[in-house]
Structure 1
Amino acid sequence: MKQQMQMIGQAMLVPISIITIGSMFMGFGSAFTNTETLAALHLSSLISKGSPGYIAFSVMKATGDVVFRNLPLFFSIGVAFGLAKKEKAWAAFSGAVCFMAMHYILNTLLDSQGISAQTTTADWFITQQHMDPVSAVQKASIYTTELGMFTYRMSVFGGMAVGLTTAWLHNRLYNVKLPLVLSFFAGTRTVPIVTLVVGALMGVALYFIWPPIGWMLAQFSKMIGDSGLFGTFIWAIADKSLLPVGLHHLITTPIRLTELGGTMEICGNLVSGTTNIYMAQLGCESSHELLVRGFQSGRVVIHFGALPGAALAMYHCSRSSHKKVVAGLLLPVVATMMLFGITEPIEYTFLFVAPWLFYFVHVPLTGLIFVLSEMANISVYGGCLKDILPVLLQPDKLDMWGYLWLTPLFFAVYYFLFRYLITRFNVMTPGREEGSAADEDVRLFSKQDFKDKTNASTAQSSLFAQQIIDALGGPQNISQFDNCISRLRVEVIDPARVASDDVWKKSLRAKGVVHVSEKGLQVIYGAEVVMIAGDCKELLGEA
């Protein structure tokens, strides 16, 4: 069961991957089409409405808008693609078919009852049904428009339901055999046909069952909103605790992208989910503030203060002869964390040498950091430079003063605490092991050296990929092979043929190994895992 849940978490990364780029486009586009921001930056004369620059940034903003307006569709396609074992392209196509069929049927059934966009606004419920404003907004939040079809607001939940259903059908039908007279519709062509019908049936079923579900979600989001700082603390602890087993996306994604993160009216539109609300506020010229409780601002303190402090402690705790090697190991990791928000390499370093450091020190401190960031009213989305840069262009909407004391405070806390604990309990962080570091080849390279090194690197990558496949028992022992943002996710046929954890960590550069089931394992490599997985898939014939 845990393996299936992890595969779902992994599949969610497929559509999530475009959210980062979408948020950057939205941030930069919104900043340079906002008259107040342009005036503050003294750019009004260069970028005015109708000018080529203004049009270019408007297009950039609209490109980001494409992502956030169509996330349910992207999830239906992405989850189906991510969970399909074979013929992934047909699974993605079938996901789109199922999604459109479901919502078109919902549109048809709602229209047959006289329910439309005009009769489901908050104002209409207030004036025609005499509801109080809060109840009217909650009632109106059940409805929306998807791809021009008036339907129920199921957000990412609807897309995920379609993706999961499509993947389940696809993995059972993509190679189905039919009588000769129907052979044209056999195999992969069967899947979109079946999902068309299933999508229609889902539309009929959801017409009856979604209103009470939507109401419960609205109540649950209200409970989250009313839980205050305690809720933030519990959420942060749960999110970080689930990182080792790869299930943290199941906590963060619903909060970020669905009604569980709250619903707010921005520029005349109802928007659900903390990320969606934040991006809508960023793109709305009449919105003069950004969401504080976005369950994101604490990440900056962790990525720029806490974990760099822990990294410095590891460096100072290493042996003198190893310090140069340890610095070469940690500096890229810290830089990657600050630039792109990937924390697993450094967190797994002490997770696997001393799990208590992770669960009893880092996890509760993470909860405290998120609470203090919220108390300081910090309103910044994301936790790395790629997320923050677009936001900085609209400083009038920001509140970042809390970072001036929180970031150095937790740098010091993590540095002194981790340095004390590492030395007090003799934790074997990098560079504290017995042995000596190898001398490094330090010199200037010629152009030919660079070419030779590039060719050697390509051959070495292929050899390394082959070593990984051999460590998994060979291609014939691999039943499923994929990756997420930081780890290989593998399912094997005979676990006895898989190399030991020590081989992975000492000979194959792995940060750690997680055994998620009898036949399922995850090998943590950090940011380089995408390239490693690509080389492996090429050798496996899956590229």
Structure 2
Amino acid sequence: MKIMGKLQSFGKVMMIPIAAITFASFFMGLGGAFTNSDTIKALNLSGIINEQTGVIYFFQIMKAAGEVVFKYLPLFFCLGASFGLAKKEQGFAALSGAMGYLAFHTVISQILKIQGLTADTVTVDFLKEQGMNNINAYRFNSLFTTELGIFTYKMSIFGGLFVGLITSAIHNKFYNLKLPPVMAFFSGTRIVPIITLSIMSVLGAVMAFLWKPVGYSLTDLGFFIRDSGLIGSFVWGALDKALISVGLHHLITVPIRYTELGGTALIDGQTYAGTTNIFLAQLASPTVPKLLVRNFSAGRILYQMGGLPGAALAMYQCAKPERKKEVKGLLIPAVITMILFGVTEPIEFTFLFVSPALFFLVHVPLSGLSVVLGEMTGVAVYGTCIKDMFISFLQPQKNYIWPLLYLTPIYFGVYYFIFKYLILKFNIKTPGREDESEDVKLYTKDDYKQKNPKIFTNTESGNGKTALNKDQELALGILDGLGGKENISEIGNCISRLRVTVKDPSKIVSDEVWKKQLQALGVIRRENAIQVVYGTKVTNIMTDINEVMDM
């Protein structure tokens, strides 16, 4: 139950970046479509969408706004995990996550630089100039990227989650750590960024040496995929989908799309390598009658146009009646974005983090099968969404899409019935099915005591109330001195003082009480604001106050 509880909490946390992905993908897709010169010409909109009218700038801005989320998606997942999985003081956890993420990749970057690897020395053209063949050049280049201006290994979402999960664990362990008075300034939440920075620097150094063989092992699968027919096609489709969960699918897709691993074709006297390059050359050629069949992508249409919309409908119908409106607002934009612009992550992540079984045991194998079915039935079309296929449909004689007309609705039905059955059978907490009673129970005092036994002594006072340690008693006394926690509008601390804003200043006790009974060194009052001086131990006191305020 503890593991399931953690997975459910993790799933809720991931809804934070997923919600941003949903709308960012729509902005990016729509903006990308109407800044593409081919699309604009095909729709005869050149007279409207151009620099003279300024309309194109609107779509450029829209595209840029959407790209922000995807460009920095690993960081957002890091912040989401750091913030959402922190038990308390989530803001400090998020700050620590950001610092840890930067330290992690900066250390990797420095080690790569020592090895002579920079953004300029890993480009495909540079590598080919050094004598590397085309396949190996793309294979090596696909290992790297630039994150927030830092040249590093391309770990994508995996890197973000890796840092975020470790940061949240560090934060939950040390956010209430109390140090001796001489070191008290660094107690509690202030020590977390320091520990995180140190640990992630070490892990960055370790990963700088471990990641290359990991990345290569994934790209080497391309050779197996190329040489094993339909089995290889299934493996490619399944792995492409499985690895998207951690953002590492590029390690097997890039070599297939842009190197000889995806095949070669002689078109109008020139040789093209890689499925994408071949597709584009075939579309541009006046002599090519048909598009590439073993393209490793056309079969995706089955789950993008059929399967995932079916899964979305199943999740909607399985939601509680009072939550269906909310679920609809989440799923409809995700489905529209996927069909129009091919961005599947919003709908996939929606069920990935609440039920990995649905993703890996149902969606992944069906994705592999869709690629096989597309290849077996001879489907040939460029693109897997309306935006991309539109260009292909301008030359309908080169396409072969008839099998999609019956396979797509079949996939819709398969996903719909499987998802609905499994969600209801195993009570999977897809969006709209969260158990509200369980959420409430997590905040009862008994559960709090079980999760935080150090706050309480193991004895009960004579009147049946829980006995507190001395630090807790002081914290409760301070709250009483401020007129009770209901009288507090805002409370925090600086280096030496509690800084409090109250609703009714008349409820605050006298300076004498502060000094004689509540251990204060001094008191400063300004209308409804009060500063209570405690010296270097104020950080420990603030930690105790936060604890007792939640009792």
- Which TM class, normalised by the smaller chain length? 0.5 to 0.7
Q: Indicate how the Cα distance of structure 1 residues 379 and 230 shifts in structure 2: closer, same or farther if over 3 A, else same.
A: farther
Compute the RMSD of aligned alpha carbons: 5.4
Letter in 2 for 1:396: I
Confirm or deny: 8 A CA contact 2:302 2:404 kept in the other structure: no
Q: 2:121 aligns with which of 115, 119, 129?
A: 119
- Distance in 1 (CA, whole Å) between partners of 2:191 and 2:392 is 51
Aligned to 2:78: 76
Measured against aligned partners, the alpha-carbon deviations of 1:455-508 in whole angstroms (never above 9, x if no partner) come to xxxxxxxxx9986656x486235569xxxxxxxxxx999xxxxxxxxxxxxxxx
Q: 1:395 aligns with which of 371, 390, 398?
A: 390
Confirm or deny: 8 A CA contact 1:122 1:137 kept in the other structure: yes
1:98 CA displacement: 0.9
Identity of aligned residues (%): 36
- Distance in 2 (CA, whole Å) between partners of 1:85 and 1:225 is 48
SS in 1 for 2:193: helix
1:262 CA displacement: 2.3
Residues 250-265 of structure 1 mapped to structure 2, 5 A cutoff? 252-254=244-246, 257-263=248-254
- Distance in 2 (CA, whole Å) between partners of 1:188 and 1:310 is 39
- Distance in 2 (CA, whole Å) between partners of 1:8 and 1:155 is 18
Q: Indicate how the Cα distance of structure 1 residues 473 and 52 shifts in structure 2: closer, same or farther if over 3 A, else same.
A: closer
Aligned to 2:407: 406
Measured against aligned partners, the alpha-carbon deviations of 1:352-405 in whole angstroms (never above 9, x if no partner) come to xxxxxxx99999878755643565356666xxxxxx6xx448611577765432
1:331 CA displacement: 12
Confirm or deny: 8 A CA contact 1:79 1:163 kept in the other structure: yes
1:28 CA displacement: 0.8
- Distance in 2 (CA, whole Å) between partners of 1:404 and 1:46 is 34
Aligned to 1:178: 179
Confirm or deny: 8 A CA contact 2:156 2:248 kept in the other structure: yes
Q: Indicate how the Cα distance of structure 1 residues 265 and 78 shifts in structure 2: closer, same or farther if over 3 A, else same.
A: farther
Aligned to 1:442: none
Q: Indicate how the Cα distance of structure 1 residues 266 and 228 shifts in structure 2: closer, same or farther if over 3 A, else same.
A: closer
Confirm or deny: 8 A CA contact 1:7 1:83 kept in the other structure: yes
Residues 260-275 of structure 1 mapped to structure 2, 5 A cutoff? 260-263=251-254
Aligned to 2:19: 17
Number of residues of Structure 1 aligned to a counterpart in Structure 2? 387
- Distance in 2 (CA, whole Å) between partners of 1:476 and 1:235 is 50
1:172 CA displacement: 0.6
Aligned to 2:39: 37
- Distance in 2 (CA, whole Å) between partners of 1:228 and 1:479 is 57
Measured against aligned partners, the alpha-carbon deviations of 1:208-264 in whole angstroms (never above 9, x if no partner) come to 22222222232246556766654676798999xxxxxxxxx976513x554455225
Aligned to 2:219: 218
Aligned to 1:206: 207
1:87 CA displacement: 2.0
Q: Indicate how the Cα distance of structure 1 residues 33 and 11 shifts in structure 2: closer, same or farther if over 3 A, else same.
A: same
Residues 82-481 of structure 1 mapped to structure 2, 5 A cutoff? 82-128=84-130, 130-220=131-221, 223=224, 229-230=230-231, 252-254=244-246, 257-263=248-254, 292=297, 297-302=302-307, 340-341=334-335, 371-373=372-374, 376-377=379-380, 391-392=386-387, 395-397=390-392, 402-409=403-410, 472=441, 475-476=444-445, 478=447
1:48 CA displacement: 0.7
Q: Indicate how the Cα distance of structure 1 residues 410 and 147 shifts in structure 2: closer, same or farther if over 3 A, else same.
A: closer
- Distance in 1 (CA, whole Å) between partners of 2:312 and 2:156 is 34
- Distance in 1 (CA, whole Å) between partners of 2:365 and 2:72 is 36
Q: Indicate how the Cα distance of structure 1 residues 340 and 114 shifts in structure 2: closer, same or farther if over 3 A, else same.
A: closer
- Distance in 2 (CA, whole Å) between partners of 1:378 and 1:476 is 60
- Distance in 2 (CA, whole Å) between partners of 1:117 and 1:203 is 18
- Distance in 2 (CA, whole Å) between partners of 1:119 and 1:222 is 25
- Distance in 1 (CA, whole Å) between partners of 2:304 and 2:21 is 17
- Distance in 1 (CA, whole Å) between partners of 2:140 and 2:439 is 53
Confirm or deny: 8 A CA contact 1:76 1:99 kept in the other structure: yes
- Distance in 2 (CA, whole Å) between partners of 1:361 and 1:253 is 14
Q: Indicate how the Cα distance of structure 1 residues 171 and 7 shifts in structure 2: closer, same or farther if over 3 A, else same.
A: same
Letter in 1 for 2:62: M
Letter in 1 for 2:20: I
- Distance in 2 (CA, whole Å) between partners of 1:374 and 1:165 is 42
TM-score w.r.t. length of structure 1: 0.56
Measured against aligned partners, the alpha-carbon deviations of 1:100-142 in whole angstroms (never above 9, x if no partner) come to 11222222233334322222222322222x2221112212222
Measured against aligned partners, the alpha-carbon deviations of 1:379-438 in whole angstroms (never above 9, x if no partner) come to 666xxxxxx6xx4486115777654322445678899x99xxx9xxxxx99xxxxxxxxx
Q: Indicate how the Cα distance of structure 1 residues 266 and 56 shifts in structure 2: closer, same or farther if over 3 A, else same.
A: farther
Residues 481-496 of structure 1 mapped to structure 2, 5 A cutoff? none
Letter in 2 for 1:292: S
1:330 CA displacement: 10
Aligned to 1:443: none
Q: Indicate how the Cα distance of structure 1 residues 335 and 190 shifts in structure 2: closer, same or farther if over 3 A, else same.
A: closer
SS in 1 for 2:145: strand
Confirm or deny: 8 A CA contact 1:80 1:167 kept in the other structure: yes
Residues 54-65 of structure 1 mapped to structure 2, 5 A cutoff? 54-65=56-67
- Distance in 2 (CA, whole Å) between partners of 1:304 and 1:291 is 21
Letter in 1 for 2:196: T
Which of 1 and 2 has greater Rg? 2
Confirm or deny: 8 A CA contact 1:221 1:260 kept in the other structure: no
